[in-house]
Structure 1
Amino acid sequence: MKMEKKALIKVGVVTMHEVVNYGSFLQAYATQYVIEKLGFECDIIDYQFPNEWHIERGIAGARGIKKNISNIVYKLGIKPGHRKKIKLNKAINKYLNLSKRYNNPTEIKNAPPIYDIYLTGSDQTWNPKHTKGDDTFLLAFAPDNAKKVSFSASLAGNNLEEKYKSLFKKFLLEYDNLSIRDSGGNKIIRELIGKEANVTLDPTLMMNRNEWSLFSKNRDSKYSDNSYIVFYLITHSFDVTPYIYQLLKNLQEKTGLKVYSFSKIPSSFSINYEICHDIGAEDFIELFEKSSYVVTSSFHGTAFAVNFGIPLYSVIDSLDTTDDRQVSLLHKLEIEHCLVPLNKPFDDIQPVYNVEKEQLNLEKLRSDSFEYLKNSLSD
């Protein structure tokens, strides 16, 4: 008699998977990858973010006719941002297991997808600066008594506006297991529900450097080993210009290395660079993997540098910054000397670290995070 195969437990993940940002796509892919690695089925719930609900509340984005025109124009790939969006959308459709599409909070509440477990994924899914209190990211759409888990959800700070506190308290109390990505967020969690959440790694760090290297090999190699600096500037959380340009110029003068930059650099700094802001997701991984140095104000730029053991300048506005994502990670890896607060003298900066020790710390954190995720999904 033929034995029937036991059906796998199905996990539905809500996250910010299609923001035109490398980190957003890669964290969603990594979340799916590690859940499947643990032996579960996994879908990324295809919830549009941002959508008109968010735009009405102040998030930048096109609506109505403008949105339709924008969707037509970007497909022509005329601007670098359009080409980047085309490549990231191609990666989303190639690599992610997507559910039915949901265009706003009402749609997903009226006809929620059915899973054994619902999971709030990583990235800034609990940061009201971006979500504007959209309770979809707090799994408000899940059926009554459904199992709810969070994995490395980020509040991106240690304070929550008063107007969001009752909302968060109501839904956080409904979770069976809670984990956040950044240590500072536990100040908010304690205040709201009287206990702490587990602190787990960003999903991109749950995949080791060999696994990411294999991902990048899904297309032909483009970059040479150890012959350039990666410059990845993000300014939506804090702005560290012009200091970060001066730092980059100083490093280029010391090393003679060319720079690959994800953004335009003012010509007044006379930096020799090649723009790379419209590369594909696989290219992004290889670019970090083969670099000599990374200079960044981005959390995911920091995360990929440490995953590959690359000398790092992780630039922040201050050591007590409200957005503590980079600080939290580098303290846990015991390489906080790679944090570069605004205006730190260049001669006092040490980007090199003991990679063997750092990788051991990372592997321990990875193991602990896997343990949390496995127990949370199996309970």
Structure 2
Amino acid sequence: MTQPLGKNYGGIMQAFALQKVLKDKGYEVITIDYNHKSPKYVYSKARLAYRSAKKMAGKRKAPINLENQINQLTEGNRKFIDKHILQSEYIDNDKNLKKHFKKNRYDAVIVGSDQTWRPKYSPNIYNFYLQFLKGKKNIKRIAYASSFGVDNWEYSVEETKKCTKLAKLFDAISVREQSGVDLCKEYLGVDSELVLDPTLLLEKEDYLSLIGSRYKQGKNEGVFTYFLDKNADKNKAAEHIAQEISTHVYSCQAKHSLGDLSSNNLEDYKLPAVQDWLASFANAEFVLTDSFHGMVFSIVFGKPFLVIVNEKRGSARFKSLLNKLDGLDYLVNDPLEIINGLKDTKNTESFSSTKLLSLKKSSLYFIAESLDKKI
């Protein structure tokens, strides 16, 4: 049970990775294709009329029904998901979610990874605490690498009260950040373990097999940038690094995000396929990113990198992982640190695998022990 798959590369890859880990252990696995449709996302005639008026006035270039083109814009990702991630039927409301679990018999339900326990990213947060399993005492409830995304408590009083009761029904809980361990204890009254994001449980070779001929072994492409929130300073920082190591800058993402309405060309919003995105890390000489999973795949492929902390989206996940790996020097608070030469980009080395291997072993042990535990 995770967040909707399609637009987010990291979300897709963590779902793929956890399925592969479980399948390799001999389990039959299915990811619930759940996307709770909040009323605010439903198109109305009023919204379309408003957007049409703005477009006619020249204040909007993007197509008025851009979000309705999601399947077309994420076609490459959808093909990857259909081929590599086994999903349930599409479920968009509580009634059908309960119906699915009444019809299908599961031994365990795993929540995670990603920011499944962050209310702003998970409409009807109670379903990510498995509220729909009420009365089903024979199904194991496990949280694997669930994340609150931030190190402060974002739940309302009512959400806290209800989620506390639901969390105490879990058979095993693990979270992705150290701050998550603290939040679980302080606000939910439950113990939890710190584990790795599922993407770090696989080997580099697992991802190279997905990339295939896109991998250019022995040939470094340059400085790869992957920014969730683009701006001029980040671009300047990338150019500075490229100049320092005598190479060029390249990217592999949509020209415009869905929140950027400055283009009337639908192709500008189209996402490159997952495999192309992965290959960009594998082929990089250096990576500059503001994304958690951008940081993760720099580590997976053993690339020198710097990560610009993304305070708006939550910095806890960056700091927690880098702290565990003695890698806080890889963190940049402001791209100006790079532009002004305050970060050494020439001598940034890839991580030693020793600490990562230890965390991987304990994370895999948590999965095995949780699933083997009798209820």
TM class by shorter chain equals 0.7 to 0.9
Q: Which amino acid aligns with 1:63?
A: Y
Query: Are residue 180 (structure 1) and residue 180 (structure 2) matched?
Result: no
* Normalised TM-score (structure 2): 0.81
Q: Which structure has more RCO (C-alpha within 8 Å, separation ≥ 6)?
A: 2
Deviation at 1:223, TM superposition (A): 5.0
Q: From the superposition, tell whether residues 17 and 322 of structure 1 become closer, same or farther in structure 2 (CA, over 3 Å).
A: closer
8 Å CA contact 1:156–1:324 kept in 2: the answer is yes
Residue deviations 1:93-123 (CA, integer Å, cap 9, x gap): 1111112321112221244242100110201
SS of residue paired to 1:230: strand
Q: From the superposition, tell whether residues 62 and 193 of structure 1 become closer, same or farther in structure 2 (CA, over 3 Å).
A: closer
1:176-325 counterparts in 2 under 5 A? 176-217=171-212, 220-221=213-214, 223=216, 225-235=219-229, 241-261=231-251, 262=253, 264=255, 278-316=271-309, 322-325=314-317
Q: Which amino acid aligns with 2:20?
A: Y
Q: 1:63 aligns with which of 34, 43, 67?
A: 43
Q: Which amino acid aligns with 2:341?
A: D
Q: Which amino acid aligns with 1:175?
A: F
Q: From the superposition, tell whether residues 241 and 29 of structure 1 become closer, same or farther in structure 2 (CA, over 3 Å).
A: same
Query: Are residue 29 (structure 1) and residue 24 (structure 2) matched?
Result: no
RMSD, aligned α-carbons: 2.7
- Counterparts of 1:248 and 1:368 in 2: how far apart (Å)? 36
- Counterparts of 1:333 and 1:276 in 2: how far apart (Å)? 35
- The answer for the alignment partner of 1:107 in structure 2 is 96
Q: From the superposition, tell whether residues 215 and 317 of structure 1 become closer, same or farther in structure 2 (CA, over 3 Å).
A: closer
8 Å CA contact 1:16–1:28 kept in 2: the answer is no
8 Å CA contact 1:62–1:70 kept in 2: the answer is no
Query: Are residue 369 (structure 1) and residue 368 (structure 2) matched?
Result: no
- Counterparts of 1:250 and 1:46 in 2: how far apart (Å)? 42
8 Å CA contact 2:29–2:86 kept in 1: the answer is yes
- Counterparts of 2:372 and 2:6 in 1: how far apart (Å)? 30
* Structure 1, unaligned runs of 5 or more: 1-13, 266-274
Q: From the superposition, tell whether residues 222 and 39 of structure 1 become closer, same or farther in structure 2 (CA, over 3 Å).
A: closer
Query: Are residue 350 (structure 1) and residue 344 (structure 2) matched?
Result: yes
Q: 2:113 aligns with which of 103, 106, 122?
A: 122
8 Å CA contact 2:167–2:190 kept in 1: the answer is no
8 Å CA contact 2:282–2:301 kept in 1: the answer is yes
* Normalised TM-score (structure 1): 0.80
Structure showing the higher strand proportion among its residues? 1
- Counterparts of 1:264 and 1:223 in 2: how far apart (Å)? 24
Deviation at 1:234, TM superposition (A): 1.4
SS of residue paired to 1:279: coil
Q: From the superposition, tell whether residues 89 and 264 of structure 1 become closer, same or farther in structure 2 (CA, over 3 Å).
A: closer
8 Å CA contact 2:295–2:305 kept in 1: the answer is yes
Deviation at 1:242, TM superposition (A): 3.9
Greater Cα shift, 93-102 or 222-231: 222-231
Deviation at 1:348, TM superposition (A): 2.6
- Counterparts of 1:71 and 1:277 in 2: how far apart (Å)? 12
8 Å CA contact 1:222–1:283 kept in 2: the answer is no
Q: From the superposition, tell whether residues 292 and 277 of structure 1 become closer, same or farther in structure 2 (CA, over 3 Å).
A: farther
Q: 1:155 aligns with which of 110, 134, 148?
A: 148
Q: From the superposition, tell whether residues 121 and 317 of structure 1 become closer, same or farther in structure 2 (CA, over 3 Å).
A: closer
- Counterparts of 1:277 and 1:182 in 2: how far apart (Å)? 32
Q: 1:337 aligns with which of 324, 329, 334?
A: 329
Deviation at 1:256, TM superposition (A): 3.4
- The answer for the alignment partner of 2:52 in structure 1 is none
- Counterparts of 1:322 and 1:221 in 2: how far apart (Å)? 32
Q: Which amino acid aligns with 2:272?
A: I
Residue deviations 1:303-353 (CA, integer Å, cap 9, x gap): 0001111011111157x9953111111111112111111143542313555
Query: Are residue 86 (structure 1) and residue 51 (structure 2) matched?
Result: no
Query: Are residue 136 (structure 1) and residue 123 (structure 2) matched?
Result: no
- Counterparts of 1:189 and 1:256 in 2: how far apart (Å)? 47
- Counterparts of 1:244 and 1:303 in 2: how far apart (Å)? 19
- Counterparts of 1:296 and 1:223 in 2: how far apart (Å)? 21
Paired-residue identity, %: 24
Q: From the superposition, tell whether residues 362 and 131 of structure 1 become closer, same or farther in structure 2 (CA, over 3 Å).
A: same
Deviation at 1:44, TM superposition (A): 0.6
Deviation at 1:292, TM superposition (A): 0.5
- The answer for the alignment partner of 1:7 in structure 2 is none
Query: Are residue 52 (structure 1) and residue 59 (structure 2) matched?
Result: no
* Structure 2, unaligned runs of 5 or more: 49-64, 257-267
